[in-house]
Structure 1
Amino acid sequence: MMFEPTRLNKKVSLGAQSANSVADTADKDGSILALPVGSIEQHGEHLPVMTDTLLANSVTTKSAERVASKIPVTVAPPFWSGYSPHHLSLGGTLTGEFSTLLDLLCDIAETGLENGFDALLLVNGHGGNTPLINAAVSEIGSAHPDVEILGLTYFELIADLVETVRKSGVGGMAHGGEFETSLMMYLYPKLVDTDNMAATYWNEHYEQSGDDLVVSGPVSVYRPFEQYSETGAIGAPEVANADTGEQLFDGVTETLGNLLVEVHQKNA
């Protein structure tokens, strides 16, 4: 049966709870506040601009659901604006200045932690946010030395699984490619336009740069995305399918759920 993504889950979603319920969870030993961080940016002609936010939120919520009977965890509403200046020329993109987004993440963390949570986990769903998440972890952690502050990019958790389930070669699981399209086909199939899936494999000039969502390199380079692809999609969305998406979703939510348990145990 197809997984129906939960927008708000009464047990783990902060937005579905009363203030007292949030406080009750935060007061428990080893409590965790998880914040999905996405973006609003073009994803080619076949995926919606909210793809990164939708996926980060679904992954974080389902991961929390998996372990909510064991640990106190709350998922904040997703932080929907990411750092996406490289997508602006292709339209459909809402972004902010790096410093503005960093300040907002720190402000949200500051107020979220006032509820009494023992740990904060930023769950990122947009590659362009990686420096932002790293900076936020440092800034928030420095301001709250008694709280465990962590950040990650969810698709990096399952690099080994990706290699076993992918149908495309390296470069096929990039922006709007097989990975994201498969997840969207599983979670939000009505939002995928399978008649308009034109994309170009990721082919970066520098050998030491990244070639895929899960194949990174030490060299970082800035390019507007139209230099990679006319449609803005990079990879092989044409080989994506819901079965692959289900395997990826199950794998990443199990892995992230296990990490949540580990964070709770360390801070209880």
Structure 2
Amino acid sequence: MMFESTTLNDSVSLGAQSADFILDTGSKSGSVLVLPVGSTEQHGTHLPVMTDTLLANSVATQSAEDIADTVPVLVAPPFWSGYSPHHLSLGGTLTGEFDTLLGLLCEIANTGLENGFDALVFVNGHGGNTPLIDAAVSEVGKTHPEVEVLGLTYFELVTDLVESVRESDVGGMAHGGEFETSLMLHLYPELVDTEAMPATYQDEQYELAGSDLVVGGPVSVYRPFEQYSESGAIGDPAVANPETGEQLFDGVTTALANLLKEVQQNNA
């Protein structure tokens, strides 16, 4: 599966449509605009730097495609630069200042809503973007009180499913670990270097901080990433496999598709 195939889905990708088609979709009752938000940052030696962007876009696109027959929905091109200053020391990372990224996200969302959509959903794929997404929801919602604005981080949709499919212990599904590597092996296997997968289990000294992508905590801690892992990957990518990736992808896209249907119904 090549990157282009999920970037421009003929039925739901905004970038594949004409301006008239976009305006027509936005004018329909309960129309939803989805904006995937990823990052360009190091993911260890085995995954590409666009992992978060590729996965957020794939999740958003498949979820929209699954309901496109009944829900007027389009997926904007992914926002590819997340807030990733903690990854800079390991190379391969393109980031921006928080206020700059927030301003860009809001401007893109605001101009997208000029096409008449009744709702906007940010689909985030990078944990470091969580405060950015929360702020964007508030800012865009304040600017467009007539529109329902929502935001989510896709991997938080399947915390229950993870418990039944994971091979790693807690700490094994962190940055570049079993979760993301399994998804990449399912969706983009040609981009995964299975011969070079060094990683370190997440070992956060504060019990109230997060343990991996799907085991969170109330405490946020800032550290340069090399303090967690020499390779830049945290978790256990060695146990990742495409079958687990398929289960996770199906679970995430089903949950998001159901949410999008609910958004449409609430705004029709």
- State the partner residue of 1:9: 9
Q: Give the 5 Å matches for 1:23-172.
A: 23-172=23-172
**Which residues of structure 2 form unaligned runs of 5+?**
none
Report deviation, 1:3.
Answer: 10
Aligned mates of 2:7, 2:93 — CA distance in 1 = 22
Report deviation, 1:10.
Answer: 1.4
Identical columns (%) = 75
Is the alpha carbon distance of 1:53 and 1:60 closer, same or farther for their aligned partners in structure 2, counting shifts above 3 Å? Answer: same
- State the partner residue of 1:208: 208
SS of 1:6's partner is helix
- Which residue identity is paired with 2:147? V
Q: Is the 8 A contact 1:3 1:186 kept in 2?
A: no
Aligned mates of 1:101, 1:6 — CA distance in 2 = 24
SS of 2:46's partner is coil
TM-score, with structure 1 as normaliser: 0.98
- State the partner residue of 1:174: 174
Aligned mates of 1:226, 1:3 — CA distance in 2 = 31
**Residues 174-213 of structure 1 deviation map (CA, whole Å, 9 limit, x = unaligned):** 0000000000000000000001000000000101000010
TM-score, with structure 2 as normaliser: 0.98
Q: Is the 8 A contact 1:175 1:233 kept in 2?
A: yes
Alignment: residue pair count: 267
Structure 1 runs of 4+ aligned residues shifted over 2 Å read 2-7
Report deviation, 1:11.
Answer: 1.2
Aligned mates of 1:112, 1:3 — CA distance in 2 = 27
**Which residues of structure 1 form unaligned runs of 5+?**
none
SS of 1:230's partner is coil
**Residues 29-64 of structure 1 deviation map (CA, whole Å, 9 limit, x = unaligned):** 000000000000000000000000000000000000
